[in-house]
């Protein structure tokens, strides 16, 4: 069993780690939340909402969460399945008569939910993704459908499709008799009390962040527009905060029966396709949910890429843990940050009841001309974490306290100072001011000014 305060202590460090990573990677802003057992245990924001104005980012700022919309649309659809108003094997045209006579109309609900329909990703003109025109409206989506959406036969392989989820939005409208945004509010946002979450851009009370361009071809970022997604709202239109998003996606975990039956939750998380993530890692896709492995556990969830924003949420359905990271730059490493945050939480949850008082007395951030290390106790272990690395738990040094001022380094690799001793020199406040011996570093601020 980890110590009683293992999770709060780990999250205190995780917050500093996020702040440093934002500074290190020059991301305008990062908003993050962690929910465990339904309790919001971290709700934080660092940086700015808009680089041009310098407006500070807060936890109340809303983001365009882009393809997270698919997970939320899937929850809405599965509520209709639970109520008997929709079946996974229904053809789209049964609920959206305007699709009759098209290949889109013959697609099954489960094929739309799992990206198994073989449908075109965005249509034959993707200018709206480049802010060259508005997103398709209802008539525009029907025009895409009538021109033919099939690019490969259905149920052959995974083929990501925003158009497919746009068609799902039409199915939801047909099954409920109301516009998709209203169905979203009635079936998801309102029952959960999510005041900042909506199916598409709206005039909510909470401020909206500014999206920023990437640094792949320029040295400065520019502000990017954020139009309504209109008929593609079910695919990419939603707005939310990290805190509310963790609550919405918690509804797929084993312990949460607020919206969905246990069977619906399991079906959503069941892997239908194997996929490869943008980071090259192996993953999968269920019904509106991305799947990936972190520390030997399968996490569900979704990511999102919007004009100027990148976001990611991870859900450990068995342990009832939800992690969400939202960034307001199109090249923001949301996936990397969310996985790192999940790994820090995992380290605390998997910890032991080893004595921690002495271990924590060595904690702090330290640097030299050669690099930087955070010394932190996580789950009963004293670790030397490199905050400059993308993964905070990759190649960490474990430190064994020998007495009040010395630790033995159990180096992660043979290239380090394994089996050697680092000596802590403490200041008047008792905290470590510098390291000597096998390490030579001075204490620094957790995030540079």
pLDDT, tens only, 205-219: 789 999 999 999 999
Q: Which of 279, 314, 412, 414 is nearest to 68 (CA)?
A: 314
- Say how far apart CA 273 and CA 271 lie, in whole Å: 6
What is the DSSP annotation of 251-311?
GGSTT--SSS-HHHHHHHHS--EEEE-TTS-EEEE-SS-EEEEETTEEEEEEEEEETTEEE
Contact 91, 100 (CB under 8 A): no
pLDDT for residue 250: 98
pLDDT for residue 279: 66
pLDDT for residue 126: 96
Domain ranges of the chain: 1-27+351-449, 29-332
pLDDT, tens only, 396-411: 999 999 999 999 999 8
Residue 157: both structure tokens together: 């392989």
pLDDT for residue 382: 97
Q: Which CATH architecture has domain 29-332?
A: 3-Layer(aba) Sandwich (3.40)
Half-sphere exposure for 297 (CA within 13 Å, toward CB) = 19
Residue 208: both structure tokens together: 């909206």
Print pLDDT tens along the chain (449 aa).
567 799 999 999 999 999 999 999 999 999 999 999 999 999 999 999 999 999 999 999 999 999 999 999 999 999 999 999 999 999 999 999 999 999 999 999 999 999 999 999 999 999 999 999 999 999 999 999 999 999 999 999 999 999 999 999 999 999 999 999 999 999 999 999 999 999 999 877 789 999 999 999 999 999 999 999 999 999 999 999 999 999 999 999 999 999 999 999 999 999 999 988 766 777 999 999 999 999 999 999 999 999 999 999 999 999 999 999 999 999 999 999 999 999 999 999 998 888 899 999 999 999 999 999 999 999 999 999 999 999 999 889 999 999 999 999 998 788 888 999 999 999 999 999 999 999 999 999 999 98
pLDDT for residue 57: 98
Q: Which of 99, 109, 220, 207 is nearest to 155 (CA)?
A: 109
In this structure, what is the dihedral angle of CA atoms 399, 404, 405, 406, given to the nearest 10 degrees?
Answer: -40
- Say how far apart CA 224 and CA 201 lie, in whole Å: 15
Residue 411: both structure tokens together: 């180096």
pLDDT for residue 54: 97
Distances (CA, A) of 319 to 263, 315, 339: 18, 9, 16
Contacts of 246 by beta carbon, 8 Å cutoff, 6+ apart: 33, 34, 35, 40, 313, 322, 323, 324
Contact 62, 196 (CB under 8 A): yes
Beta-strand ranges (E) seen in 61-156 are: 63-64
pLDDT for residue 278: 66
Contact 72, 219 (CB under 8 A): no
Residue 175: both structure tokens together: 């099954």
């Amino acid at each position: 069993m980890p110590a009683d305060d293992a999770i709060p202590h780990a999250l205190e460090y995780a917050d500093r780690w996020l702040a440093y990573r934002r500074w290190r990677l020059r991301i305008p802003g990062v908003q993050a939340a962690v929910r465990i057992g339904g309790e919001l245990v971290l709700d934080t924001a660092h940086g700015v909402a808009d680089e041009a104005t310098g407006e500070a980012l807060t936890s109340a700022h809303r983001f365009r969460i882009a393809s997270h919309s698919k997970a939320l649309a899937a929850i809405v659809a599965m509520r209709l399945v639970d109520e008997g108003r929709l079946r996974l094997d229904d053809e789209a045209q049964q609920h959206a008569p305007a699709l009759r006579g098209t290949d889109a109309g013959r697609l099954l609900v489960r094929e739309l939910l799992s990206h198994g329909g073989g449908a075109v990703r965005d249509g034959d003109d993707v200018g709206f993704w480049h802010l060259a025109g508005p997103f398709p409206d209802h008539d525009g989506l029907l025009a895409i459908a009538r021109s033919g959406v099939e690019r490969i036969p259905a149920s052959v392989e995974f083929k990501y499709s925003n158009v497919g989820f746009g068609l799902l939005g039409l199915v939801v409208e047909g099954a409920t008799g109301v516009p998709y945004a209203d169905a979203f509010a009635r079936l998801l946002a309102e029952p959960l009390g999510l005041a900042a979450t909506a199916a598409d851009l709206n005039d909510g009370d909470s401020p909206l962040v500014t999206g920023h361009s990437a640094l792949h071809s320029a040295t400065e970022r520019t502000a990017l527009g954020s139009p309504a997604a209109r008929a593609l709202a079910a695919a990419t239109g939603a707005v939310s905060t990290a805190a509310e998003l963790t609550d919405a996606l918690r509804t797929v975990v084993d312990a949460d029966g607020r919206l969905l039956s246990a069977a619906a939750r399991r079906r959503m998380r069941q892997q239908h396709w194997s996929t490869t993530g943008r980071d090259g890692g192996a993953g999968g896709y269920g019904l509106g949910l991305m799947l990936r492995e972190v520390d030997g556990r399968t996490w569900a969830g979704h990511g999102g890429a919007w004009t100027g924003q990148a976001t990611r949420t991870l859900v450990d359905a068995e342990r009832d843990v939800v992690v969400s990271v939202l960034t307001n730059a199109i090249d923001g490493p949301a996936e990397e940050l969310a996985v790192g945050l999940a790994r820090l939480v995992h380290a605390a949850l998997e910890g032991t009841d080893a004595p921690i008082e002495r271990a924590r007395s060595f904690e702090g951030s330290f640097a030299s001309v050669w690099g930087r290390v955070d010394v932190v106790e996580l789950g009963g272990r004293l670790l030397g974490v490199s905050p400059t690395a993308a993964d905070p738990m990759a190649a960490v040094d474990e430190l064994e306290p020998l007495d009040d001022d010395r630790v033995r380094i159990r180096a992660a690799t043979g290239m380090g100072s394994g089996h050697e001793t680092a000596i802590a020199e403490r200041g008047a406040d008792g905290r470590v001011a510098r390291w000597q011996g096998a390490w030579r570093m001075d204490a620094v601020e957790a995030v540079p000014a």
